[in-house]
Structure 1
């Protein structure tokens, strides 16, 4: 099974983004292992902190580097990405020459109660991730508009149409990861 580092762009208990990620995790059972990257303990990026690297930064970098791919699930704040997401991206991209994001297969999805379902945040996030060499899946795009009946009592997609849409996304993401992931160092073939 492929391991996915999941970066959820909201810290609140009732996060819609986390609910969406959990619903996708339930649907992906048996194909993916979702590992949620902890963002709440990351200090605001400060170059001086590299002198004594916070454990939360080391954990972030390790989670991303050990995963087969990364999935960003984000809300939209003021027509852009939440600061907690940008902060995680900045920490993961440093120190210079040791970016955890480099060459990592990735996906970006968003959900909000608004009509455009985080579309602007996703556009901003994509432009940042491309500069860091995250190999982003282009289609299908997910700008999901949340409604109270989106999920059932068990946290799964309530509508067969919604479940089918996310099934398509998960299948495409699986194929994308297989096509683009770099071989792990310990699995490199010998060149005799």
Structure 2
């Protein structure tokens, strides 16, 4: 059996009445059920300020806020990134980009990312997901091809992130999560193997 992977899950919304907590609870449980470790970054809880000085602007890292240093180390140690994103005006939520932009691309590099998006409408937030592909690629954590989109999330998941008993799409939601995480896990294991080889022979890290 492959050893456990380390995930960091970013939730990308602070909007009043947000449904993202349902999506986050669901995917966190799916990841944990595979035996992996997971850190959860919620901008509503973390309360990072509007970006003024990112971590990589501190010439002396020891003077940076302890919160940023601790979060950054968790990102560096991760094998995979999962972004749980809403769609604000057909675009990336500012809380998500603000949260991730506090850290340098080098912290995200050489590991895959997965995009999970949702909306109360029929498109499931995929327009934001298309923009996240470019954003995550520039951060150094290229997204896998599978996007896990949940349309009409208020009907599919309850407040605790469980598939709703009155939804006729329960099986599809879980099935799609399995397909999504299978792909993220495959690339995370491959990237971890390559990082270990690179560390041993001092080859370039991208």
TM-score by length of 2: 0.77
| 8 A contact 1:135–1:180 mirrored in 2 | no
> Structure 2: which 5+ runs fail to align?
165-169
Q: Distance in 2 between matches of 1:77 and 1:188?
A: 40
What is the aligned counterpart of 1:74 among 85, 88, 94? 85
Conservation of the 8 A alpha-carbon contact between 2:120 and 2:154: no
Query: Closer, same or farther in 2 for the Cα pair 1:58/1:110, shift >3 Å?
Result: same
Shift of 1:156: 2.2
Find out whether 1:32 has 2:36 as its counterpart: yes
Counterpart-to-counterpart distance in 1, 2:89 and 2:64: 31
Per-residue deviation, residues 63-115 of structure 1 (Å, max 9, x unmatched): 21111111000101111111111112221127xxxx31122221111111122
Q: Does 1:45 align with 2:57?
A: no
Aligned partner of 1:61 in structure 2 is: 72
User: Are 2:26 and 1:15 equivalent residues in the alignment?
Assistant: no
1:129-185 deviation line (CA, Å, top 9, x unaligned): 1122213211x2223212433125753234122211211112122112112235359
CA RMSD of aligned residues (A): 2.7
User: Does 2:135 correspond to 1:128?
Assistant: yes
In structure 2, the residue matched to 1:101 is 108
Normalising by structure 1, report the TM-score: 0.82
Distance (whole Å) between structure 2 residues aligned to residue 149 and residue 167 of structure 1: 20
Equivalent-residue separation in structure 2 for 1:38 and 1:58 (angstroms):
16
Runs of 4+ in 1 over 4 A off after TM superposition: 187-191
In structure 2, distance between residues paired with 1:44 and 1:152 = 31
